[in-house]
Amino acid sequence: MVTLAAEQLSVALRGREVVRGVSFTLDAGQFVGVLGPNGAGKSTLIRALLGLLPASGRALLNGQPVAALPRAATARQIAYLPQGQALHWPLSVERLVALGRLPHLAPFSRLSAADEAAVARAMRLAEVEHLAHRTATELSGGERARVLLARALAVEAPALIADEPLASLDPEHQLHGMELLRAQAHGGGLVVAVLHDLALAARFCDRVLVLVDGRLVADGAPPTVLTPALLEQVYRVHARLIGDPPVPVITKRIIADR
Amino acid sequence: MRGGTKGWLWPALIAAVLIGAVLSIGVGSAAIPPARAFAALLGRGDPVERAILVELRLPRAMLGLAIGAILGLSGAALQGYLRNPLAEPSVLGASNGAALGAVVAIYFGLASSSAALLPLLAIAGALVALALLSLLAGRSESALTLILAGVAVSTLAGAGISLALNLSPNPFAAMEITNWLLGSLEDRAFSHVLLALPPIALGAALLAWDARAFDALTLGEDGAAALGVDLARTRLRVLLGIGIGVGGAVAVSGAIGFVGLIVPHLVRPLTDRSPSAILWPSAAAGAALLLLADVAVRVIPTTNELKLGVVTAFLGVPVFLVFLMRERRLW
């Protein structure tokens, strides 16, 4: 069972403090949404959690500091889908998804039958099998996002951290993406996703973390966290709760009088 | 496409290398018919012909093979590492650094005092250039920083070479330096082969080590790190591999450019385009290209022998043009 934890985690980028003293513990079986306005430090927080940025405080993977673990060990435990992933070579979709197996390969060995099966499973889950032989750089933005999600799923790591996995997906695929991530979590994994759609986060996540200005201002189950009062404070919008379980619907912007 | 390359690619590459090697041994200013050449190589036949074949043409062919291979491999590895299709060893200043080392040896007359001094200074020059590069690029793991630092180092070494030419005490020294900068495999002996092979083999091993890391870098630096790549170690291996491998090659052949640039582009469309798939095919294609170019140098009738570096530079220009035309969507 994988756990990810932050203990008083702070990150400074070029002297500016972007994440400030964030602490939490995330356990397997949870689908965790990370919310917050633009520039709140969401991406920086998860990069620090992965050990990709120098941070003060501690980021812990299964109780051990990520910074002290070999990169290959972390890579087998946490799959990472970066935001706006760039692709530097025109690989075929199949070849690209297979990159997800790199952490598992012994030096100078080829993909085993088990690796190929994992690649096929990931492509089936993300519903990109029909794109297998297309060139990844020539796909539409949404198709590409799904292929990159398949790439992250192919790692079959106990934990998956996805930075805005829904960006550029159409409504149907947004729903499919959320169902897929939730199924991964409820199948025993830990899924952490940076999200902007509050309604989807409220419907699918087991827990949401809300960041403002690098600080963790709320942490808990969506119905207790995503209240109109909090959304007013965090996003400066009016919201109404609709349905059961309650889902926030944004009605209008608060214009600050300055 | 098993193993990332088209089925006929390797047979074609091996055939090209063999043809290049056979022509390189068979063609030269002294015409030796194939039957007699074969006999001479087996240790029979005319002693003069045997001397020409074994002591002149064989080392030349072996050097063409090894140097072409390391140049092709370096280009493929660097393009993968820097994720830049225009990268080649000279981008990091390794080639110019090695050339400056050799020029220093010639300028101060050290080259005439000991035959081993020029190659050693060339390798040292490449390593000093890369040490300076590491210092300039600092602890940043970014490829862009490395390219910028490489341009600075390369320019500095180039300026040093120009200075040596400028202040050259006599026209003969200047001519010797120029000749050497043009790159050639003329009049090389087995001692050169023994000198070049160890650093080339070591460099190739270091560069091939990170094939997987180059693939992972398709997803950028964060993506690669999240796939378990230790970026700092990868960079160290790539820098050392280029410095030692290309340094060893330049030490013997002089500066031969563009092979590392051209070859990966020729090979890439015949593979699955992943950086790891083009590494060894680029080495083979580099060997074939340099062997054939070195044959062309001997066949093209000119009063002074054409220099190998000149031929490869002419071959490099069309590659840039094709890129330019693709960018401008003219083709």
Residue with tokens 């796939």: B227
C-beta atoms of A86 and B216 within 8 A: no
Residues of B in contact with A91 (CB under 8 A): 218, 272-274
Q: Which of residues 12-31 of B touch A (CB under 8 A)?
A: none
pLDDT above 90 (res A6): yes
Which chain A residue shows the shortest CA-CA distance from B208? A108
CA of B320, closest CA in chain A: separation in Å? 18
Which residues, at least 6 apart from A193, have a Cβ–Cβ distance to it below 8 Å? A31, A32, A33, A34, A161, A162, A163, A164, A165, A181, A205
How close B212 comes to chain A (CA, Å)? 7
B212 inside 8 A of chain A by CB = yes
Number of domains chain B is built from: 1
Q: In the predicted model, is pLDDT for residue A22 greater than 60?
A: yes
Cα–Cα distance between A77 and A13 in angstroms, integer?
A: 26
Average pLDDT over residues A25-49: 95
Q: Which amino acid is at A16?
A: R
Which is more confident, A92 or B6?
A92
Nearest residue of chain A to residue B3 (CA atoms): A110
How far B221 CA sits from the closest chain A CA (Å)? 10
Query: What is chain B's length?
Result: 331
**ipTM for this model:** 0.90
What CATH number has the domain bearing residue B33? 1.10.3470.10
Helix axes B279-299, B308-327, angle to 10 degrees: 130
The three state secondary structure string of B217-241 is HHHHHHHHHHCCCCHHHHHHHHHHH
| CB-based contact B274 A89, cutoff 8 Å | yes
Query: Which of B86, B219, B234, B326 should one mutate to test binding to chain A, selecting the residue with the greatest count of A CBs within 10 A?
Result: B219
Q: Measured between beta carbons, which residues in chain B are less than 8 angstroms from residue A80?
A: 222-223, 226
Q: Which residue of B has its CA nearest to A148?
A: B219
Q: What CA–CA distance (Å, rounded) separates B285 from B59?
A: 19
- Segment A230-244 mean pLDDT: 90
* pLDDT of chain B, 331 residues: tens digit per residue: 446 788 899 999 999 999 999 999 888 877 777 777 777 777 777 888 888 888 889 999 999 999 999 999 999 999 999 888 878 887 788 888 998 998 888 888 777 777 778 878 888 898 899 889 888 887 665 667 878 888 899 999 999 999 988 888 788 888 888 878 888 888 888 888 998 999 999 999 999 999 999 999 999 888 999 999 998 899 889 988 998 899 889 888 888 888 998 899 889 989 999 999 999 999 999 999 999 999 998 888 877 778 998 888 888 788 778 877 877 776 5
Q: Which helix (H) or strand (E) holds A123?
A: helix A113-125
Cβ-based contacts of A71 with chain B (< 8 Å): 225, 228-230
Structure-block tokens of residue B290? 């340099």
| Distance, C-alpha A106 to centroid of its chain | 27
CATH of domain A3-253: 3.40.50.300
**Least confident range of A4-13, A67-76, B197-206, B242-251:** B242-251
Is B217 an 8 Å CB contact of chain A? yes
Q: Is B252 on the interface with A (CB under 8 A)?
A: no
A16 Cβ neighbours under 8 A, 6+ residues apart: none
Name the residue among A70, A92, A102 with its Cβ closest to that of B215. A102
Lowest mean pLDDT among A41-55, A73-87, B70-84, B316-330: B316-330
* Domain coverage including residue B58: 2-327
Residue A120's pLDDT band, with cuts at 50, 70 and 90, is very high
Q: Are residues A70 and B230, on separate chains, in Cβ contact within 8 Å?
A: yes
Interface probe with A: pick from B86, B139, B147, B218, most Cβ of A within 10 Å? B218
pLDDT tens column, A152-201: 999 999 999 999 999 889 999 999 999 999 999 999 999 999 999 999 99
Token pair of B154 as six digits: 């390369």
From the list A89, A100, A105, which residue is nearest B212 (CB)? A105
Shortest distance, CA A22 to any CA of chain B (angstroms): 22
Look up residue B318 and give its amino acid: P
Determine, for residues A103 and B228 on separate chains, whether the beta-carbon distance falls below 8 Å. yes
Nearest residue, CB atoms, A102 vs list B227, B230, B273: B227
- Domain residue ranges of chain A, discontinuous segments joined by +: 3-253
Contact list, B3 vs chain A (CB under 8 Å)? 110
Q: Which residues of A touch B (CB under 8 A)?
A: 47, 50, 52, 70-76, 78-80, 82, 85-92, 95-96, 99-100, 102-103, 105, 107, 110, 151, 155
Cβ neighbours of residue B330 closer than 8 Å, sequence gap 6 or more: none
- DSSP for residue A16: E
